[in-house]
Amino acid sequence: MPKSSPKAKTATATAKAPSDRGRTKTALASAKKNAGGRQNARTSKPKDTVRVPDVDAQQQIDELRALWNEFKDSRSAEARERLILHYAPS
């Protein structure tokens, strides 16, 4: 394994975060918007909407679980084929 030079270690250890210098207001606003997931719980706004799964979506999930269980239990060729078709890109 090649040894790293002391110079490389120093450069890695002293790396700084990029500054806002030279960035446009639009780029800064976009960066702040994209950093929304990194806010702490006290500063983030509460979400008003609650996502409820559709009955059809839940039924599809249940059928897929049953298919996986069938394949794991019996190694059925039919179940395997249906799983492959489910996960294959359309």
d(C-alpha 80, C-alpha 72), whole Å: 9
d(C-alpha 8, C-alpha 11), whole Å: 5
Residue 3, pLDDT > 70, answer: no
Q: Give the pLDDT confidence of 15-72 residue by residue, as tens digits.
A: 555 565 666 667 666 666 666 555 555 666 666 777 766 778 889 999 999 999 999 9
What's the CA dihedral at 19, 23, 28, 29 to 10 degrees? 180
Residue 8, pLDDT > 70, answer: no
